[in-house]
Amino acid sequence: MAKEHTTVFFCKECGYETSKWSGFCPSCKTPNSLVEAPKTSSPKTSVSSFSRGTSRPKPVRLSEISTEKQERFPTGSGELDRVLGGGLLPGSLVLTGGDPGIGKSTLLLQVCRNLAAEGHKVLYVSGEESLKQLKLRADRIGPFQGDISFLCETDLEQILNVFQEEKPSAAVIDSIQTMYAPQAASAPGSVTQVRECTNMILNTAKGLGISVFIVGHVTKDGAVAGPKLLEHMVDTVLYFEGDRHAAYRILRSVKNRFGASGEIAVFEMRSNGLKEIPNPSAYMLSGRPENASGSAISCIMEGTRPLLLEVQALLARTNYGQGRRTATGADYNRVALLLAVLEKHLGIAFSDCDAFINVTGGLKVTDPGLDLAMVLALYSSYKNTAVSSDLMIFGEVGLAGEVRSVPFAKERVQEAARLGFTTCVLPKSSLSADLNARGIKLIGVSHIREAVSVLTEI
């Protein structure tokens, strides 16, 4: 027999659920954050469950399923449309997560403004700010036209009643952690509440064909707070990231049921709202030093988009016994590995040097295509010779010092050619006749030894 009731604890910080209490959360390690989840009185009769009547479910064949194309509507931001997979689908749920103050509310308010100007009926529900605060933000963004209304409410039942009455074509719920479903008797933001609220929004939105943007808070680790289930329930998960002190922001799709995931869009936060940056490569390279040692340009892939960026390396003699290694924007272990490869295969001793690697623009790069540029930037700093500013470098570096191919060579070379680079150092195995036609000089290398000799040749 199944047990009637098991006590469930959840973490106030990250939403982790466990049946065993302990002094700290097993997931995010926050002390004293586990609290008992209230037992819901009748989970079987939640709003999400629906009656099918007496009819039996009937499986269907693929040929019987109609696939009439659903019209997507543009959000007024070409960059956001691309991340969504070509526009917003009616009835889709989009979860937008990000650090506090990164600009989630601003982005969604701008989307609402654009949609209203296009003639859509839009509803912005805020559980975090007053109408006055919303108005102040709206005033910064610019004039609003069309059918857009605002609601400050946290009782989700009331909000969904308004959805039923108003039938907007798009809505924003800012944020899911402030929403409250009366039948799930626990505090707003708790696992039970977040799950139940999302479920209720899902049913109403799908039923009425309303596209809903849900704002989600993130935990210390940067994941959307609440149960992981939240991300499973929605159609699209977007993360808004970037350095709060820098002006640019990156919107990344980590899940997309209706398009490619991993796509990014770049925005700049200005005094009058977010402005999209359609040419991020040029933006990332602006202000780079010309002919400075330790600076190399590479091209990484973010989703299907090639992005040029600058890698800077600095080697300085240490004042302490052991040299420090610091990596900003690149993986620390990867930098340590590349330093070891350089030591071993080029015979350079770095042990008495502090080594700093910085990927400018504040991106956190995981693409191994950046390896070769990091190697050349380190070598250039060590030798105090500049890497030509017309040179773009990409390729993965293996432990034997070999340069290995990475996917999307054509896209990377094309992007470099588009921004006026004249020469590209790339893995020999990536060379192809197709690449030659791009009007850029290609230098294929198979080992880092060959790569560094290129530096002295050109």
Residues in contact with ligand TYD by the rule CB under 6 A: 98, 100-106, 137, 140, 269, 271-273
Least distance (Å) between residue 106 CB and ligand TYD: 3
Please tell me the number of Cα atoms within 13 Å of 168 on its side-chain side.
Answer: 26
**Which residue, among 281, 268, 334, has the nearest Cα to 310 in the 3D structure?**
281
Q: Which residue has the CB atom at the shortest distance from Mg ion?
A: 105
Query: From the list Mg ion, ligand TYD, none, which binds 102 (C-beta under 5 to 8 Å, kind-based)?
Result: ligand TYD
Least distance (Å) between residue 217 CB and ligand TYD: 9
Rounded to 10°, the helix 131-141/104-117 angle is 70
What is the spatial distance between Cα 246 and Cα 433, in angstroms, rounded to a whole number? 41
CA angle 149, 150, 153 (to 5 degrees): 140
Query: From the list ligand TYD, Mg ion, none, which binds 37 (C-beta under 5 to 8 Å, kind-based)?
Result: none
Closer to ligand TYD at the Cβ: 259 or 273?
273
The greatest distance separating any two alpha carbons of the chain, rounded to the nearest whole angstrom, comes to 80
Closer to Mg ion at the Cβ: 105 or 219?
105
Binding site for Mg ion (CB under 5 A): 105
Least distance (Å) between residue 137 CB and Mg ion: 9
Assigned token pair, 239: 């993360």
Closer to ligand TYD at the Cβ: 244 or 383?
244
Assigned token pair, 198: 């999302």
Closer to ligand TYD at the Cβ: 76 or 306?
76
Query: From the list Mg ion, ligand TYD, none, which binds 190 (C-beta under 5 to 8 Å, kind-based)?
Result: none
Least distance (Å) between residue 12 CB and ligand TYD: 19
Burial 389-399 (b: 16+ CB within 10 A, else e): bebbbbbbbee
Please name the residues in contact with 94: beta carbons below 8 A apart, sequence gap of 6 or more: 84, 88, 211, 212, 213, 214, 234, 235, 236, 237, 238
Closer to Mg ion at the Cβ: 78 or 101?
101
Closer to ligand TYD at the Cβ: 137 or 325?
137
Query: From the list Mg ion, ligand TYD, none, which binds 76 (C-beta under 5 to 8 Å, kind-based)?
Result: none
Specify which residues 445 forms β-bridges with.
Answer: 427
Least distance (Å) between residue 238 CB and Mg ion: 14
Least distance (Å) between residue 175 CB and Mg ion: 7
Element (H, E) at 134: helix 131-141
Closer to ligand TYD at the Cβ: 103 or 361?
103
Least distance (Å) between residue 98 CB and ligand TYD: 5
Alpha-carbon dihedral 365, 371, 375, 376, rounded to 10 degrees: -90
Query: From the list ligand TYD, Mg ion, none, which binds 178 (C-beta under 5 to 8 Å, kind-based)?
Result: none
